[in-house]
Chain A
Amino acid sequence: MVSKDELRHLGWISRINLSEEEIETFHHQLGDTIKYIDVLETFDSENLTLDYLEVEFSNLREDKTIEFTRDLIPKSSLAQEGYVKGPKMI
Chain B
Amino acid sequence: MGNILIGLEIHCQLTSLKSKLFCFCHEDYRSFKPNSNICPICCGFPGTLPLLNQKAVEHAAMISNALGSKIPEKIMFYRKNYFYPDLPKNFQITQYNSYGLTSIGSAGSVCISDSKTIRIRRVQLEEDPGRLSYDSGNIHNSNHTLIDYNRSGVALVEIVTEPDFTEPKEVRYFLNKLSSILEHLGVCDTALEGAVRCDANVSLKGGERIEIKNVNSFREVEKALTYEISRQTSLSTRNIRINSETRHWDEQRKITRIARTKEEEQDYRYFPEPDIPLVMLGKDFYTHIEKLVPELPDERLSRFKSKYTLSDHVANILINSKKLADFFESCLKIYYSPVEIANWLVNDLLALIGGEETVILDKLKIEPKHMAELAKLVDEKKISRSNAKQIFTEVFRTGQTPSELLSSTDYSQINDENLIANAVDLVFSSEKSAVEDAKVNSGAINFLVGKVMKMTKGRADPKIVTQLINVKLAQLGNS
Consider the complex of A and B and state whether they touch directly, i.e. have CB atoms less than 8 Å apart: yes
List residues of A whose CB falls within 8 A of some B CB: 13, 15, 50, 52-58, 60-68, 72-73, 78-90
Interchain nearest-CB distance for A39 vs B (Å): 21
Partner of A52, one of B33, B43, B148, B272: B272
A9–B35 CA distance with the chains assembled, in angstroms: 34
Is B52's beta carbon under 8 Å from chain A? Answer: yes
Task: Please determine whether A79 and B278 come into contact, CB atoms closer than 8 angstroms.
Answer: no
Would A61 and B43 count as touching, CB distance under 8 A? no
Q: Does B261 contact A (CB under 8 A)?
A: yes
Within the assembled complex, what's the spacing in Å between the Cα atoms of A60 and B19? 13
Nearest CB on B from A11, distance (A):
13
Given A55-B280, A81-B33, A82-B34 in contact, is the A64-B18 Cβ separation under 8 Å?
Answer: yes
Smallest CB-CB A-B distances: 8 pairs: A68-B39, A60-B54, A63-B55, A83-B146, A53-B277, A66-B24, A86-B145, A52-B278
Interface size bracket, B side: 35 or more
How far does the alpha carbon of A40 sit from the alpha carbon of B99 in the complex, in Å? 19
Instruction: List CB contacts (< 8 Å) of B259-283 with chain A.
Output: 260-261, 267, 269, 272, 276-282
Chain B neighbourhood of A86, CB < 8 A = 85, 132, 144-147
Q: How far is the CB of B54 from chain A (nearest CB, A)?
A: 4
Nearest-neighbor residue (CB-CB) of A87 within chain B: B145
Q: Which residues on the A side are within 8 Å of B133 (C-beta)?
A: 83
Instruction: Among A13, A63, A89, point to the contact of B267 (Cβ < 8 A).
Output: A13
Q: A57-B279, A60-B52 are in contact. Are A83 and B147 (CB under 8 A)?
A: yes
Expressed in whole angstroms, the Cα–Cα distance for A63 and B14 within the complex equals 12
With A83-B147, A84-B147, A87-B144 as known contacts, state yes or no: A63 contacts B272, CB within 8 Å: no
Some 11 contacts from A to B, beta carbons below 8 A apart, are A15-B83, A53-B277, A57-B282, A60-B279, A61-B54, A64-B18, A66-B24, A81-B33, A86-B147, A90-B139, A90-B140
- Across-interface contacts of B261 in A (CB, < 8 A): 89-90
Q: Using CB atoms, name the residue of chain A closest to B147.
A: A84
Q: A61–B56 Cα gap in the complex (Å)?
A: 10
Roughly how many angstroms separate A63 CA and B54 CA in the complex, as a whole number? 7
With contacts A52-B272, A57-B279 taken as known, whether A84 is within 8 angstroms of B149 at the C-beta atoms is: yes
Query: With A and B bound together, what is the CA distance between A68 and B41 in angstroms?
Result: 10
Q: Which residues of B contact A68 (CB under 8 A)?
A: 24-25, 38-40
